[in-house]
Amino acid sequence: MRKPIVAGNWKMNKSLAEGRALAAGIVEAVASYKGCDIVVAPTAVSLAGVGEVLGDSNVRLAAQNMHWAEGGAYTGELSAAMIKDVGCSWVILGHSERRQYFGETDEGVNHKALVALKAGLTPIVCVGETLEERESERTLQKIELQVRAALASISAADASRVVIAYEPIWAIGTGKTASSDQAQAIHLEIRKIVAEVFDASVADAMRVLYGGSVKPANIAELIAQPDVDGALIGGASLKVESFSEIAKIV
């Protein structure tokens, strides 16, 4: 039985004060929700302050990125130990915006995932196709490449701790959600790939999230799909009402 996940990616939004207020509202709204893992990913500068507000609540703290090195001459980067030190137990890796604007590669994402697992963090590894790839029927090819690369050299024992987020790039921040059938079809393919890389039990245990314009109005249909184990949410995670409503439905 896979425990669903509702994860909010705040991206480059919210000041420290706004982030703390949002976190306080979420903590209060979801305090009684035991059925899913609830995670928020504020900006790097707000991690410590938001972490303080989360305290020992049922809402976990995630970083939006990290570097694979332990430390040293990597201007602007944060190590796994650093994000753990400020309270993170989760980390988002390889978001399409990081791949698109900051040149992140499949190899780099894999390197980061290996380091995150070793540090005891739960990595949410993002994969997804562009509109052009979908229209030219290259979706599966792209997803297979990204998933296999992300999981390279990860042990079977660690693999079930990896979370994969399927985020079609054409659905991120656009208001266009993949239909529940489209999402289910890709999630099933991801599970098949994981079974090939490891085995059926790892594939069965691995949680696969959907991301792309998730909101209270469409989450029920998405989460009803057998291979959709929750959501990675951008826009709708920036308001207590919409984020907590999604968590309630999940």
Query: Please, what is the minimum distance in Å from the beta carbon of residue 114 to ligand PEP?
Result: 22
Query: Please, what is the minimum distance in Å from the beta carbon of residue 126 to ligand PEP?
Result: 7
Relative orientation angle of helices 106-118 and 139-151, to the nearest 10 degrees: 40
Relative orientation angle of helices 240-249 and 216-223, to the nearest 10 degrees: 20
Structure tokens at 206: 């691995």
Within 173-232, the residues that bind ligand PEP by CB under 6 A are 173, 211-214, 232
d(CA 115, CA 150): 12
d(CA 163, CA 116): 12
175 Ramachandran zone, left/alpha/beta (phi>0; psi -120 to 50)? left
Q: 231 phi and psi, to 5 degrees? A: -145, 145
Q: Which of 55/173 has CB closer to ligand PEP?
A: 173
Query: Please, what is the minimum distance in Å from the beta carbon of residue 5 to ligand PEP?
Result: 13
Closest residue by beta carbon to ligand PEP: 234
Residue 173 annotated in ligand binding:
yes
- Residue 113 half-sphere exposure toward CB, CA atoms < 13 A: 31
- 128 near ligand PEP (CB under 6 A): no
| Structural contact between residues 15 and 241, judged by C-beta atoms closer than 8 angstroms | no
Answer yes or no: 95 catalytic.
Answer: yes
Residue 84 annotated in ligand binding:
no
How many residues in total does the chain contain? 250
Q: How many residues in the shown chain lie near ligand PEP by CB under 6 A?
A: 13
Active-site residue among 97, 133, 167, 189? Answer: 167
Stretch that binds ligand PEP, among 31-39, 107-115, 166-174, 191-199 (CB under 6 A): 166-174
Task: Catalogue the active-site residues.
Answer: 95, 167
Residues forming the site for ligand PEP (CB under 6 A) = 9, 167, 172-173, 211-214, 232-236
Binding-site annotation, residues: 9-11, 173, 213, 234-235
Binding-site residues for substrate sit at 9-11, 173, 213, 234-235
